[in-house]
């Protein structure tokens, strides 16, 4: 199809800071005290921040990608709905980003984290640690096996619940190159009720945080597959909690 639009020639797409939610959002009670009261200051990164080593590929263990087994007693497995989450890490022009470390952490199938300060009454699973790591391949692809996390209540308003979600941390080539986001599940009715998600002003941005059911890659009698592609910048950028403009 022909188009009269001018071709894009810039190195980067323009940054859209409106994509990021406001720091102050009364519906998300924690933001009332945490939101900055003065104008933000941009700090220059040092050479060490940009080029310092982050991790070595040799530190990844053989089960780091399998959260159903990496904290389990040998011969046992985490309890819950087994799933595989997979996708690709892409730049703003759709090119793969290879060799990036992706860390994930989550609650167990009952909605409880393995953390001493998590006081939710759901039981702990002794065979589930809730953390994993993968490195993207030459095509920017990643995959890990886990259990679908449960929703849980949190102290915001009297009856607020977090939807089922998985936290993602993406590492670049230096200490300052880290992006953090959360992945939700297609069809979860709690997404529309979450005050944290409600801080995101654009429906498209919320939609790009939602993984899609992927029956073509479901493993029969084993694990349901969900696809979650991550875009670092540009118009299809994934929303990141700690850096609105992407990596």
Active site residue 165: yes
Q: Where are the alpha helices (DSSP H) in the chain?
A: 30-34, 47-51, 203-207
Which residue in the block uniquely carries the two structure tokens 């992945």? 183
Among 112, 148, 162, 233, which one carries the catalytic annotation? 162
Pairwise CA distance, residues 234 & 222, whole Å: 36
Among 15, 114, 167, 243, which one carries the catalytic annotation? 167
Among 113, 120, 212, 243, which one carries the catalytic annotation? 113
> Are 68 and 82 a contacting pair, CB within 8 Å?
yes
Active site residue 162: yes
Pairwise CA distance, residues 7 & 212, whole Å: 31
Pairing of strands 178-185, 165-171: antiparallel
> Are 98 and 173 a contacting pair, CB within 8 Å?
no
Among 165, 184, 208, 233, which one carries the catalytic annotation? 165
Active site residue 184: no
> CA quadruple 72, 74, 80, 84: dihedral positive or negative?
positive
Pairwise CA distance, residues 224 & 240, whole Å: 26
Which residue in the block uniquely carries the two structure tokens 């793969």? 96
Active site residue 113: yes
Q: Measured at the alpha carbon of residue 84, what is the angle toward residues 79 and 90, in degrees to the nearest 5?
A: 145
- The residues annotated as belonging to the active site are 113, 152, 162, 165, 167
């Amino acid at each position: 199809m022909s188009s009269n639009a001018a071709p894009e020639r810039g190195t980067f797409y323009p940054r859209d800071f409106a994509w990021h939610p406001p720091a102050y959002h009364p519906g998300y009670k924690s933001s009332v005290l945490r939101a900055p009261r003065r104008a933000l200051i941009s700090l220059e990164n040092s050479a060490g921040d940009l080029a310092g080593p982050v991790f070595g590929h040799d530190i990844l263990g053989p089960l780091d990608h399998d959260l159903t087994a990496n904290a389990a007693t040998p011969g046992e497995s985490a309890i819950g709905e087994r799933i595989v989450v997979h996708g690709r890490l892409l730049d703003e022009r759709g090119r793969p980003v290879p060799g990036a470390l992706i860390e994930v952490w989550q609650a167990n199938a009952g909605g409880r984290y393995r953390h001493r300060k998590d006081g939710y009454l759901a039981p702990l699973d002794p065979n589930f640690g809730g953390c994993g790591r993968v490195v993207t391949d030459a095509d920017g692809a990643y995959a890990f096996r886990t259990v679908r996390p449960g929703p849980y209540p949190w102290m915001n308003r009297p009856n607020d619940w977090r939807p089922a979600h998985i936290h993602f941390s993406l590492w670049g080539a230096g200490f300052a190159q880290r992006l953090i986001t959360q992945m939700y599940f297609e069809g979860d009715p709690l997404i529309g009720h979450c005050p944290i998600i409600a801080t995101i002003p654009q429906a498209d941005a919320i939609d790009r945080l939602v993984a899609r059911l992927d029956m073509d890659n479901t493993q029969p009698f084993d694990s349901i597959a969900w696809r979650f592609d991550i875009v670092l910048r540009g118009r299809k950028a994934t929303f990141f909690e700690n850096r609105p403009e992407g990596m």
